């Protein structure tokens, strides 16, 4: 729920910022003459960094790169500078045009000593975690943003799977606009409905059905609609649950990747805390999640409330809840 209610706006805003950066960089590159040299890029870079210094910002570093650890490595080795972000900011066509220039790297070293460094480097502000009163993460970069988008997708899936009791096949048939609200005569919200398709014990094509749910699911669906909008539009897809990776060889829909992204979410939460892990281990190992566990867990709780029905009956007829 923290991802849906607190972190989602930051993640979505960061994606909008990155899209704008990429479009602007492409436009600048197209307008540049072929004879553009390192000196011109270095002038743009210095101008951009001086504006950051005036704001109290630092030279951007990668949050985490392959074969490096989280934190601030030795910037004088030139391994931690976020050249990708800097290229986008100044309209430089290839990262190598900055990183391969000894004069540019020397300039960055001097400016880093003077104005400091900053992990991530994107402009999107980070919300405060209600529990700590501190930003919930470092600023985004072009690598950490896709990871947090996947974490948000997993969080939305978990909220919907747990609080609707839908089977995975029913959940993954949800489409944009699937949540509707019923209001009373005085305009108070009486209930939330989720429209999808029931497949179990029905014909192969499935039957349209409604699930009664609660407000957190509506918020998760709203976040997922925004998160998946670009992928759905680019590939003309109908389901909310699409693959967020834009590679040509990537499957269009989440499908069997639901369990793996839940594992990624589990590992991501564990990485945010020291010891013990965020989600308790069992017999010394991380808990193995499957998509059906959420439905069965909420069924157990409902069945054991006053006037609840037995567990088997609740699992059998959960679609009618």
Set out the domains of the chain in order of their start, with CATH numbers: 2-119 (no CATH), 144-320 (1.10.443)
Q: Write phi, then psi, for 290 (nearest 5 degrees).
A: -130, 160
Question: Has residue 150 got a pLDDT over 90?
Answer: yes
Q: Read off the DSSP letter of residue 5.
A: I
Q: What is the DSSP string of 28-65?
A: HHHHS-TT--HHHHHHHHHHHHHHHHHTT--EEE-S--
Q: In this predicted model, what pLDDT tens digit does every residue of 252-289 receive, in sequence order?
A: 888 888 999 999 999 999 888 877 788 888 998 989 99
More confident residue, 2 or 93: 2
Q: Is the pTM of this model over 0.75?
A: yes
In total, the chain counts a number of residues equal to: 321
> In the numeric block, which tokens belong to residue 134?
């501190």
Q: In this predicted model, what pLDDT tens digit does every residue of 165-202 receive, in sequence order?
A: 999 999 999 999 999 999 999 999 989 999 999 876 65
Q: Which SS3 state, helix, strand or coil, does residue 244 take?
A: coil
Instruction: Report pLDDT for 264.
Output: 93
More confident residue, 130 or 75: 130
The secondary structure element, H or E, covering residue 183 is strand 179-183
Q: Do the beta carbons of residue 86 and residue 60 sit within 8 Å?
A: yes
Q: Do the beta carbons of residue 126 and residue 135 sit within 8 Å?
A: yes
């Amino acid at each position: 729920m923290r991802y849906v209610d607190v972190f989602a706006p930051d993640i979505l805003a960061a994606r909008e910022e990155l899209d704008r950066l990429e479009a602007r960089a492409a436009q600048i590159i197209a307008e540049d003459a072929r004879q553009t040299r390192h000196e011109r890029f270095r002038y743009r870079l210095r101008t951009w960094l001086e504006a950051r210094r005036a704001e109290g910002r630092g030279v951007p570093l990668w949050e985490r790169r392959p074969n490096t650890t989280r934190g601030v490595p030795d910037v004088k080795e030139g391994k931690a500078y976020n050249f990708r972000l800097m290229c986008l900011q100044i309209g430089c066509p290839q990262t190598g045009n900055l990183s391969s220039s000894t004069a540019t790297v020397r300039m960055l070293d001097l400016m880093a000593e003077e104005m400091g460094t900053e992990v991530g480097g994107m402009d999107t502000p980070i919300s405060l975690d209600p529990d700590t009163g501190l930003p919930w993460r470092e600023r985004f970069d072009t690598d950490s943003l896709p990871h947090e988008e996947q974490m948000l997708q997993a969080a939305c899936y978990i909220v919907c799977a747990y609080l609707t009791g839908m089977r995975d096949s029913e959940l993954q048939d949800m489409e944009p606009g699937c949540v509707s609200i019923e209001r009373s005569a005085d305009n108070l919200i009486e209930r939330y409905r989720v429209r999808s398709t029931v497949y179990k014990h029905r014909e192969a094509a499935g039957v349209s059905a409604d699930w009664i749910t609660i407000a957190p699911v509506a918020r998760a669906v709203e976040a997922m609609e925004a998160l998946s909008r670009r992928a759905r539009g680019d590939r003309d897809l109908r389901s909310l649950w699409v693959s967020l990776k834009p590679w040509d060889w990537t499957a269009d829909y989440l499908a069997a990747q639901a369990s793996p992204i839940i594992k990624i979410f589990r590992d991501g939460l564990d990485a945010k805390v020291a010891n013990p892990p965020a989600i308790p281990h069992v017999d010394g190992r991380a808990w193995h999640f499957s998509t059906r566990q959420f439905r069965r867990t909420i069924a157990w709780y409902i069945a054991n409330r006053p006037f609840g029905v037995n567990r088997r009956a609740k699992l059998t007829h959960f679609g009618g809840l």
